[in-house]
Structure 1
Amino acid sequence: MTDFPILYTFRRCPYAMRARMAVAVSGVAVELREIMLRDKPLEMLEASPKGTVPVLVLPDGKVLEESIDIMRWALAQSDPKGWLGHACQETILVTDGPFKQALDRYKYPHRYQLADGRTHRDAAMAHLAHLNAVLADNPHLGGTQPAMTDIAIFPFVRQFAATDADWFDRLPLPALQRWLAHHLNSALFAQIMSRYPQWKAGDAPIHFP
């Protein structure tokens, strides 16, 4: 077993993105193992049979399988920006629950035997309108600086916007659009979206951040 926590991740997965962002901000070093979802390594499946990312395997053998738990673990080790003090659990739960359900059906309607995803796109809009209203008073959901709530939901708002970027850009959601642009153009997002080779057993460890 390595002395470093092992983080199994997939670059484009929104859950993995938010876990990497929290780890990066915490500065806690992990061994990063980039996987391909169609070719999951046996070592990851032995640690977490459900086979989703991210997965964090701690040196004592404890396994964290939920991205929010990985975020909280990383920030509990080191929280230099005070993210944990600005975590709105309700906003995160709505994003991870009803909003994500609508997003999946909007983005991938054929997976759900739907002719198109517009009904679910419209259902997701209520949450986006709420976020826009909150952001009209503050540049970030955590106040004047980004915090855990912002980072926890940003990858999913990004995914929604990218499904039909032209349509999203025309929406009357200026505060949300500014917020999204800020995070898309941030140094933190650029850092966690660096490309890494697919991990194979026996590879030299890649330490992150």
Structure 2
Amino acid sequence: MRARSAIVASGLVCELREVVLRDKPAALLDASPKATVPVLVEPDGTVIEQSLDIMLWALRQNDPDAWLPSSVGKVSAMNRLITDCDESFKFHLDRYKYPQRYGNVDRQVHRGHAALWLHELDAVLTRRSFLCGEKFTMADAAIAPFVRQFAHTDLDWFDIQRWPALRTWLLRWTQSTLFDGIMKKYPPWMEGQTPVLFPG
């Protein structure tokens, strides 16, 4: 979702190969032995394996909506938010959502730790419309998918939390044309098929 968001925002077009991870095609393993998605292969064969790196790759080529901050201070603030999300929040999100994968840890404990960070986000969003100001940027696109995962793990519980600004922010994203575009379903890629272009 992160990588697709940035590609849409940049106005670039790529060939999309939808992968079912339980049935990984050889082409994925050849391109990236880590065998997780997303993976981007440039025309010269360069492989980019991390979603944030793909976002930066796209936006550094073309950034018509100024998703990348223009000042050092805003870059630092954006990077701090994304790092907090990817390191601490996602650690607890994974264990809240999939406790069985981590030795049946106490998912409620991890939900509580993750919720502390969401309280902080709600406070930020009480002061402004988006995470880094009054417009949607890379920080929002990078963090919203994980907040959505957290919310949908137990939506009834999420909806009664005192996070009005956070819920408004998340709802604005999930009702956007950008969200509709990145959530479109594609059939699994097969060797020899007609290329599928994204966005398309």
**Does 1:154 find its partner at 2:144?**
yes
Return the match for 1:53 from 37, 40, 45: 37
Residue correspondence of structure 1 range 14-29 to structure 2 within 5 A: 17-29=1-13
* Inter-partner Cα distance in structure 2 for 1:205 and 1:115: 43
The residue correspondences of 1:11-160 to structure 2 (distance < 5 A) are 17-85=1-69, 87=75, 88-114=78-104, 116-160=106-150
Post-superposition Cα deviations, 1:19-69, rounded to whole Å, max 9, x if no partner, equal 100001111110000010001111111110000100000001100000000
CA distance in 2, matches of 1:111, 1:141: 31
How many equivalent pairs are there? 193
- Give the distance between the partners of 1:121 and 1:185, measured in 2 at CA: 25
Q: Distance in 2 between matches of 1:133 and 1:117?
A: 24
Task: Provide the rounded CA distance (Å) in 2 between the counterparts of 1:118 and 1:62.
Answer: 42
Aligned-residue offset at 1:192: 0.8
Unaligned runs of 5+ in 2: none
TM-score, structure 1 length as denominator? 0.90
Identity %: 53
Contact 2:122 2:166 in 1 (8 A): yes
C-alpha distance in 1, partners of 2:126/2:118? Answer: 12
Give the aligned residue type for 1:40.
K
The offset of 1:142, in angstroms, is 2.3
Q: In the alignment, residue 66 of structure 1 is paired with which amino acid?
A: Q
Q: Distance in 1 between matches of 2:114 and 2:184?
A: 30
Separation of aligned partners in 1, 2:103 and 2:198: 40
CA distance in 2, matches of 1:30, 1:199: 14
CA distance in 2, matches of 1:115, 1:105: 7
Deviation at 1:113, TM superposition (A): 1.6
Structure 1 residue matching 2:68: 3-state secondary structure: helix
One-letter amino acid matched to 2:64: P
Q: State the Cα RMSD in Å.
A: 0.9
Structure 1: gaps spanning 5 or more residues: 1-16
1:101-159 Cα distance to aligned partner (Å, 9 max, x none): 10000011111122540000000111101110110011111211110000000000000
Alignment partner of 1:207 is 2:197: yes
For residues 81-114 of structure 1, what are the alpha-carbon distances to aligned partners after superposition, in whole Å with 9 as ceiling and x for unaligned?
A: 0001155001100100110010000011111122
| Cα pair 1:110 1:116 within 8 Å, conserved | no
TM-score w.r.t. structure 2 length? 0.94
Partners of 1:191 and 1:112 in 2: CA distance: 33
Q: Deviations over 1:171-202 (max 9, x none)?
A: 00110010011111111000111111100110
Q: For 2:57 and 2:11, locate their aligned partners in 1 and report how far apart those are by CA, in whole Å.
A: 12
Contact 2:99-2:107 at 8 Å conserved across structures: yes
